[in-house]
Amino acid sequence: MRDRVRAVIRVNRYSIRTEKTYWYWIRYFIRFHQMKHPREMGPREVNEFLTWLAVNRNVAAATQAQALNALVFLYDKVLDKPLGEIGDVVRSKKPRRLPVVLTHEEAMRIISQLGEPNKLIASLMYGSGLRVTEACRLRIKDLEFQQRVITVRDGKGAKDRTTLMPATLVGPLQDHVESIRIAWKQRGEKFAHPVSLPFALARKYPNAGQALEWQWLFSSPSLSTDNLGHVSRHHRHISSVQRAVRNAVKEAGIGKRAGCHTFRHTFATELLKRGNDIRTVQDLLGHADLRTTQIYTHVLGQGFAGVRSPLG
């Protein structure tokens, strides 16, 4: 079952994180029904599982929806047995919380606690609104210094987008790229193996993995081996960046539960606070729905139609 799920997911070019998430919920569903094969189950069993998640596990609405998406994918794409109508499911009532947002000064205090390259990665998350995965996956070819543009490849939802490159990061990014270029020309030990490439590009362009433009901006210090036994260098693992940011938050004494994604929230609120159009912010963040971006107007306390408190 796992091999079939993996094969269909990769044919449809879903991300590795989606593959792991979907398999987690499919396995959870099977175990919930005492290892019964999904072909022997249907809408009723899916309804029972989703209702149990809401009532007994008290999961968030987004988590319940994620589980449903995984099971719809299983029956529709893998088993070729669409679920159809699953009946009335008890919906999770757990409310959506407003995101934690930092002030500009707090964001800079956290960034100042970081060492390289995590300091540069955090600066990109705050200055360009990148997710931590997007920042770690940047390649040299994704930076356009003359136009000050960063291209995000295969972002959330398998979409590409462009975002701004902060003027204060042009110099540090150019220095970082130049250090990679010098080491690449000298063919040091770090470049003895090719970098990992998406999809079938390694077969289509055999030398691309050794080309300078395809080098990771933030490469992993260790090598990786894929399912076929090919050794390559992957990008910096996001968990190492997340751990470093959590430690920096503690050292900065911010007093907020902040992490990597908090920089992205802060990027959005700072742009709106400075009078930028919400649709422009939506494009920079890569949100498909404007309502997702509008959550930041609530964080700012806007939309009160000029009403003032009785205390002034």
- Which sequence positions are flagged as catalytic? 131, 156, 261, 264, 287, 296
Q: Return the SS3 of 68.
A: helix
Cα separation of 2 and 54, whole Å? 26
Q: Where are the beta strands (DSSP E) in the chain?
A: 143-144, 149-152, 161-164, 219-225, 231-235
Phi, psi of 234 (to 5 degrees): -95, 175
Cα separation of 153 and 135, whole Å? 10
Phi, psi of 300 (to 5 degrees): -75, -15
Number of alpha carbons in the 13 Å side-chain half-sphere of residue 197 = 19
Helix pair 43-55, 16-32: axis angle to 10 deg:
100
Distance of CA 101 to the CA centre of its chain: 18
